[in-house]
Structure 1
Amino acid sequence: MPLIRTLQQDLHTLLEKEDVHWRQRAKADWVKLGDRNTKFFHASANQRCRNDFIHKITDEEGQTLEEPEAIALERQITLAMNKELLKEFTMDEVSQALNQMAP
């Protein structure tokens, strides 16, 4: 019986984790009310992804562009910014970030 109880607790924990995963992915306020209908949350997340995808765009000259290479945006991060982002962080920076976090 202890094995069954342990397995039930493990299952419950995994279901909770899955529920949280899909709630976060769905990015919907009403998810806070919640149930464990992960199929619903999965569908919501996939719908958001489909809505966010750019299928075509019209340029300044009025031409419709549909190829992914033509639609791609220019990079927004400069080489200097990238260098700054890639440098190693210090213990002071980590400490400062942790102290700024909510409990």
Structure 2
Amino acid sequence: MNELLDREEIWWAQRSRVQWLGEGDRNTKYFHYRTSIRRRKDTIGGLWSESGSWCYDRASIAATTISYFKEIYTTTRPNRVEEVTSLFHLKVTDEMNENLIKDFTAEEVRSTLQQMHPTKAVRPDGMSIIFFQKF
């Protein structure tokens, strides 16, 4: 019985994201009340569309949201790009860019791998160790 109560407590803790549960609260009415309030606050019941109609089903809410973000992140006149970008100061010079795009050497790879923490790997399968041994 205690194991089932512990499982239920874990389930409610994950669901409610309440910090005070760790202090020993066991499924009180207050706890369930707070969880229900959070669920209501986190749920989008509907949105007003651009046409002024109320969208309440999932498909129309999704369509309204996508339409809204497409509109605010789309420009209709991108003809002044050069004028705007000319106002930015370059952070990467041509010389720096040449260094960034050049091929890396075996010594650079070896040095980088030696600087890595011993418990870290480039990939979970230990590819960094195999890669290092090839050089």
Larger Rg over CA atoms: 2
TM-score, normalised to structure 1, is 0.47
TM-score, normalised to structure 2, is 0.38
Higher relative contact order (CA 8 A, sep 6+): 1
